């Protein structure tokens, strides 16, 4: 789901890792059907240059790159950190306002899945 993607709409040689998000509250039959559009593009991560494992500076740079990606994820998911414990009201499609502590948790679960795929 998060394979390296060429951004052809830009200059052609741009590459990025897409991260997708969806919510578990939608039944999986609907969520996973191609036309449902229940999966949103959450972000495009920067792709660091490829480095060899042999040289010491390269190894160091690989580590830095890994931490950089973690920072990016932390920034993207920062809004969930606050909400996960307290909860927020969210407008639902049935016209009712639901208390959403559990939703945000579910959201973060989905994101962690995506994280695993990316990592």
Q: Please give the residue ranges that form the binding site for another protein (CB under 8 A).
A: 16, 19, 21-31, 36, 38, 40-46, 48, 61, 64-65, 68, 71-72, 75-77, 79-80, 83, 86-99, 101-107, 109, 111
Residue with Cβ nearer another protein (54 or 93): 93
CB 115 → another protein: shortest distance, Å? 12
* 91 φ, ψ (degrees, to nearest 5): -70, 130
Residue 47, judged by CB atoms within 10 A of its CB (0-12, 13-18, 19+), counts as middle
CB 68 → another protein: shortest distance, Å? 5
Q: Which two tokens stand for residue 34?
A: 């191609």
Task: Give how far the C-alpha of residue 101 lies from the chain's centroid of Cα atoms, to the nearest Å.
Answer: 20
């Amino acid at each position: 789901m998060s394979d390296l993607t060429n951004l052809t709409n830009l200059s052609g040689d741009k590459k990025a890792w897409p991260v997708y998000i969806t919510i578990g509250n939608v039944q999986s039959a609907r969520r996973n059907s191609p036309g449902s559009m229940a999966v949103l593009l959450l972000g495009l991560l920067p792709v660091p240059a490829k480095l060899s494992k042999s040289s010491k500076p390269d190894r160091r740079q690989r580590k830095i790159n890994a931490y950089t990606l973690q920072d990016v994820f932390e920034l993207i998911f920062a809004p969930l950190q606050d909400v996960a414990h307290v909860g927020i009201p969210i407008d639902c499609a049935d016209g009712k306002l639901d208390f959403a502590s559990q939703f945000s948790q579910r959201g973060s679960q989905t994101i962690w899945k995506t994280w695993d795929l990316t990592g």
